[in-house]
Structure 1
């Protein structure tokens, strides 16, 4: 059986990320073949004279995200150098990191709820469009 050698696992730190990570571990030779990413969506406050990012609350959220990713990495023996917590549009950031690390597979959860996005959530759907590697969508 052929294994993927560089897997990017997109997790939702507020949901059941263990299901997604365990699926990726079943595919990988080793936890060292995994990188994990959680994208924090910027909180923008639109004001009459421009935009402003929410200050302390947003900074705390970013720090908490990084700490949670470190805990997840430690739990599954994923090297801490292989965790990513960018801020931006989730699909765009996942594409960027996947390309930067030459991922050959992206594993991510899907939260399909209703309507057109019944099978895939909006982030999973966005990742599929324009990605240059395989994608495994795990039903969470």
Structure 2
């Protein structure tokens, strides 16, 4: 197996994120790789199905700002430069695939709750990332 050069860590900014970040930091240090931190904010309109005739721009901007601040804290804690911290808006699987391809990533690291049965059939971000990417994917078990 060749060493990884550029790793993308997709986190959801919950209290579980450090479990994924700790694993990513270990791999970065082992391989001497570059680390990108990515968080995808889903569009506010998705939550409402686009049925509410309101301008949700201000709410979306607040969510984006909060995500950038939290990602910045993780970046500082784990030694990831600002230019390698990416907050974007969209569907998580699609955005992670897009960024990985644009940035020439050779490993994507995501958290996984290890769902089974119906929950697995309904899909998860980790499962969505796994199917459709051209590089390796590491799903870190969340405890």
TM-score band by shorter chain is 0.7 to 0.9
Give the CA deviation at 1:2: 4.3
Give the match for residue 3 of structure 1.
Answer: 3
Q: 1:81 to 1:139 in 2, by over 3 A?
A: same
Q: How many residues align?
A: 138
Give the match for residue 67 of structure 1.
Answer: 69
2-structure distance, mates of 1:98, 1:53: 31
Give the CA deviation at 1:26: 1.4
Whether 2:103 is the aligned partner of 1:101: answer: yes
Give the CA deviation at 1:120: 9.9
Give the match for residue 17 of structure 1.
Answer: 17
Give the match for residue 135 of structure 1.
Answer: 137
Query: Aligned runs of 1:81-96 on 2, under 5 Å?
Result: 81-96=83-98
2-structure distance, mates of 1:81, 1:70: 10
| Kept in 2: contact 1:43–1:53 (CA 8 A) | no
- 1:88-135 CA distance string (max 9 Å, x none): 000000000000110000001012344244499611111111101000
- 1:13-69 CA distance string (max 9 Å, x none): 023111111111111237861001000000114238xx7652322211110001111
- Return 5+ residue gaps in structure 2 as ranges: none
| Kept in 2: contact 1:31–1:76 (CA 8 A) | no
- Normalised to the residue count of structure 1, the TM-score between the two structures is 0.86
Give the match for residue 43 of structure 2.
Answer: 42
